[in-house]
Amino acid sequence: MTLPYKKRRLDKALSQSAVHPEPAIQIEMNDGPAIPRKTDPGLYSAWKFVVIAAPCLYIYLATYDQIAALLVSAMPGLGESWGWLKKIAGPEYVNSYRDAFLFIMPDGFYVTLQVTCLGIGVSIPVGIMTGLCRVSRIRIINLIASVYVEVVRGIPLLVQLFYIYYGVASIIRINPFMAAIISIGFCYGAYIGEVVRSGIEAVDRGQREAAMSLGFTPFQAMRHVILPQAIRTILPPLGNECISMLKDSSLVSMVAIIDILRRGREYASTTFNYFESYTMVALSYLFITLILSKGVSLLETRMGRYERR
């Protein structure tokens, strides 16, 4: 006799393993996927918890006084017995969380997303070029790309940002926004280049040989055989790089670009509501990265389709 509980668990395990077959060889090229795999139960349930809890907290903090007002107007008795509820619902009560949120909200979000998107727009082409050069057999091209990667990876992004914003901009005129995009784009271009390189190198050598034996040019082999297969390995770590970029875009607040963090700082220093302000800043970043990581994982499952056995 099988226990129904065990049977349910078995069925669930079977159905999940059919939907999400683990690839035979799994190469972790980074500090883990954007969304933890179901095979890592601790991290996965933590992720689920955060996905639900963080947006709830975010919305709650921004609206709790309005919720209280609704409660009190719906049930006047509540306000009488709980004085603090009545106070929160009252017209003279100021919700600093919402104030901070509204201060950050339209422009700060917009600028952070803009910096990130443009940064991605610069760094992905740069990264693909760098990755291709790094696997090139032409020594000089390979050398140039390798030097670029080593130099950029050895310098903190903040220093690169200052170098271009204060250093280079003192010689040739660059507007602050351009300086930020250039330094983020080229910094992440180097990291993405390494991701692209390891993705290309993870494709079995036989694939290239088969293409060559059929008369493909090296370019055609790369374009039609190797890159389409490399994308699968590249995509998850690439998504992680984009999420890191979003977080690192907060560094541009150091060079007078008004992003989420900068707006939060301005709010905090004018109102002295440091706690409320930075809580909303932190939750704002968390909120966006959660959405992005969901997007990355959707992309990941779509790209993995042809591998299904």
Partner 1 sequence: MNAADPIIVLTDVYKFFGNFAALTNVSLSIRRGEKVVLVGPSGSGKSTLLRTINRLETIDHGAITVNGQDIYDPKANLNRLRTSMGMVFQGFNLFRHKTALENVTMAPCQVLKMDPVEADKRGLDLLHKVGIADKAGNYPAQLSGGQQQRVAIARALAMNPDIMLFDEPTSALDPEVTHEVLDVMSAWPARA
Q: Which residues bind partner 1 (CB under 8 A)?
A: 204, 206-207, 209-217, 220, 224-225, 228-229, 232, 306-309
DSSP 4-73: HHHHHHHHHHHHHHHHSPPPSS----SS--SS--TTSHHHHHHHHHHHHHHHHHHHHHHHHHHHHHHHHH
What's the N-to-C CA distance of the chain in angstroms? 32
152 CB contacts (<8 Å, ≥6 apart)?
A: 160, 186, 187, 189, 190
If the CB atoms of residues 1 and 24 are measured against partner 1, the closer one turns out to be 24
- Decide whether 45 or 301 has the Cβ nearer to partner 1: 301
At its nearest, how many Å lie between partner 1 and the CB of residue 224? Answer: 6
CA proximity to 180, closest of 249, 107, 110: 249
Q: How many CB atoms lie within 10 A of CB 215?
A: 8
- Closest distance to partner 1 from the beta carbon of 238 (Å): 17
**Rounded to the nearest whole angstrom, what is the least distance from the CB of residue 26 to partner 1 in the complex?**
15
Rounded Cα gap, residues 188 and 274, in angstroms: 31
Give me the sign of the Cα torsion angle 116, 247, 171, 258. positive
Number of other CB atoms surrounding residue 202 within 10 Å: 15
Would you mind telling me the total number of residues written for the chain in this entry? 309
d(CA 257, CA 263): 9
Choose between 16 and 220: whose C-beta lies nearer to partner 1: 220
Of the two residues 22 and 307, which places its CB atom closer to partner 1 in the complex?
307
The distance of closest approach from Cβ of residue 33 to partner 1 in the complex, given in angstroms and rounded to an integer, is 21
* Distance in Å, CB of 29 to partner 1, minimum: 19
| Complex with partner 1: residue 50 or 214, whichever CB lies closer | 214
What string of DSSP letters covers 142-186?
HHHHHHHHHHHHTS-HHHHHHIIIIIGGGTS---HHHHHHHHHHH
Residue 309 Cβ vs partner 1, minimum distance, rounded to whole Å: 5
Output 211 or 257, the one with its CB closest to partner 1.
211
Residue 175 Cβ vs partner 1, minimum distance, rounded to whole Å: 43
Instruction: Specify the residue, 87 or 223, whose C-beta has the smaller distance to partner 1.
Output: 223
Q: Which is nearer to partner 1, 123 or 198 (CB)?
A: 198
Give the nearest distance from C-beta 113 to partner 1 in angstroms.
Answer: 32
